[in-house]
Amino acid sequence: MKFYISQLVAFLRVKKAVRNLKMLGGFLLVLVVMIVVFSVLFHVIMEWEGRKYSWITGFYWTLTVMSTLGFGDITFHSDFGRLFSILVLMSGMIFLLMLMPFTLIQFFYAPWVEAQSAARTPRQLPPDTTGHVILTNYDPVAHALINKLKQYGYSYALVVKDLSEAQRLHDLGFNIVLGEPDLPDTYEGLNIRQAAMVVATGDDVINTNIAFTVRELSPKVPIITTATTSAAEDILKLAGSSHVVRLGRLMGQSLARRTIGGDAGAHVIGHFDQLLIAEATAAGTPLIGKTLAETRLREMVGLNVLGVWERGRYATAGAQTRLSPNTVLVLAGSAEQIRNYNELFCIYHQALAPVLIIGGGRVGRATGKALAERGVEFRIIEREAEHIPTVGADRYLLGDAADLEILQKAGLKEAPAIIITSHDDDISIYLTIFCRRLRPDIQIISRATHERNVSTLHRAGADFVMSYASMGANIIFNLLKRSDILMLAEGLNVFRMKTPPALAGKSLVETNLRQTTGCNVVAINENSHFEINPNPQLPLPEQSEIVLIGSLEAEQEFFRRYGGDLS
């Protein structure tokens, strides 16, 4: 009973609901007046025919006729009386059988159901909520970020302005707050001053409005926004954004970094204090066909090979790991060690034929720019003439990449690699299958907009797939300013923790962490002395921190075995 009372109170607080109730009350008043008038006329006509009935009988006759029940126990004898009966009958059909159901549904039942549905999607957070992440747009990046926030125990709130969409997402298990993302009242209800971060991944104009609104309410909360152009990046910073992420440019750089062509140097993808994490392709180098033990990389340059990517799958590297043309090495070391590696391997696998880029959008242009910075020739295939710039148009080819003649004209037979940058995953899958059939030996790198299509693109024949959603989520998550974890790629993390008591005093050889957990210790921090790639024969100090790298599963296995505290 209390539930229905509270629902009614909430229902009556809505101005639209009160207006609807007034209209419904007016309709019922008209209906009551009509019944009274018909009952009075019933008595007048009956007396004119020489009969007399009680007032109860008059109301009884009016309601049975208007409701079309018409028991027939009371009837008029004159034609005038029968005409009156027809009038009452027609009025009842219109008011009771047509207008009343419509009015009840339109002005009471539907608003009541809507109010109950709205009650499932709150308009504000509890007053004691703190340390939460506020997301203002639901898209693939936000979806991937929400999954990571759940993994690491962060609370979040997703702002949705459309009620039906809010209900749909709520039913799917998301933490929804109903509200307009550009109104100050929405963020007041979201406890903006206690939030850990605000993330806006919509278009540039909306993101600017959100950043400006939030910054007026809170001068300190970090605001992370995405941008598509350098001009938008500047405006978003002026509006109050703490960090502006140009995902298209970063995606292009990531795709270019994985490409065969140019040199085989190591490219830094992240850093953890003085520790640098880099990736390098093995294609075209003397490393192909050798095991890691045979390469003697650690002895020559001091770098530690943490793991390898093989066709998009990360695996922990061991002494017997054999390198193939598709292998991408994940390296850890200091800036000096990275330079030593590049001095040895930058001379290898120079490709003369241009790399093919399918798609001349933001990601495709950014990929071309990154390749140009590496001195790698490229050709972009674009089917929309308006996307081809006047400057540098000689590197573009107008046409559909699904056309064999266009691919051949672009140089498919000689190209060392092809990069597919379409934002439509279905098109990317189609083109991957098509290109793999035409050139079984070519390197195919593809962008995936949705995480769910990464594995599909690998099965279609892509050597490497970069997930737009995962990359964006990793970048934004790293901006939470956690000093204990760095996400390098989907499924690959660097994390820091205090040395567990079970490992203190033991050497890395004794602990055998790589085989038992899948994690590598890549650095030790003792009394502010940061040692990169420590000697595996030396014992781990008790009062120290260790930095490890591994997949999410490896990280979970490490904590299951050793526990420990994040630093």
Which pLDDT tens digit goes with each residue over 225-278?
999 999 999 999 999 999 999 999 989 988 888 787 666 788 887 777 778 888
On the CB side of 276, how many CA atoms lie within 13 Å of its CA?
Answer: 17
Look up tokens 């979806």; give the residue: 143
**pLDDT computed for residue 427 by the predictor:** 95
**pLDDT computed for residue 2 by the predictor:** 44
197-200 and 176-178: which strand pairing? unpaired
- Do residue 364 and residue 388 come from a single domain? yes
- Do residue 275 and residue 335 come from a single domain? yes
Number of structural domains the chain divides into: 5
Residue 177 domain-assigned? Answer: yes
Query: What is the pTM assigned to this prediction?
Result: 0.70
Maximum pairwise Cα distance, the chain: 123
> Which amino acid appears at position 422 of this protein?
S
- Do residue 456 and residue 505 come from a single domain? no
pLDDT of residue 133 exceeding 90, the answer is: yes
Contacts for 497 with CB less than 8 Å, ≥ 6 apart: 484, 545, 546, 548, 564, 565, 566, 567
User: Residue 502 sits in a domain of what CATH number?
Assistant: 3.30.70.1450
Residue 159 domain-assigned? Answer: yes
pLDDT of residue 121 exceeding 70, the answer is: yes
Residue 283 domain-assigned? Answer: yes
Residue 313 domain-assigned? Answer: yes
C-alpha to C-alpha distance for 55 and 46, rounded to whole angstroms:
12
**pLDDT computed for residue 170 by the predictor:** 87
- Do residue 223 and residue 298 come from a single domain? no
Residue 157 domain-assigned? Answer: yes
pLDDT of residue 205 exceeding 90, the answer is: yes
Residue 255 domain-assigned? Answer: no
Kindly report, residue by residue over 156-203, the tens digit of the pLDDT: 999 999 888 988 898 888 999 999 999 999 999 999 999 999 999 999
Range of the domain at 537: 491-562
**Which runs of consecutive H residues, i.e. helices, occur in 374-424?**
404-410
Residue 476 domain-assigned? Answer: no
pLDDT of residue 298 exceeding 80, the answer is: yes
Do you know the residue count of the chain? Answer: 567
Q: What is the DSSP letter of 452?
A: G
C-alpha to C-alpha distance for 288 and 295, rounded to whole angstroms:
9
- What region does 177 belong to: left with phi over 0, alpha with psi -120 to 50, or beta? beta
- Do residue 235 and residue 277 come from a single domain? no
- Do residue 366 and residue 340 come from a single domain? no
C-alpha to C-alpha distance for 157 and 106, rounded to whole angstroms:
33
User: Residue 219 sits in a domain of what CATH number?
Assistant: 3.40.50.720
Kindly report, residue by residue over 34-77, the tens digit of the pLDDT: 889 988 998 888 888 888 888 888 888 888 888 877 777 888 88
Q: Is 309 helix (H, G, I), strand (E, B) or coil?
A: strand
Q: Write down which residue in 119, 150, 177 finishes a domain.
A: 119
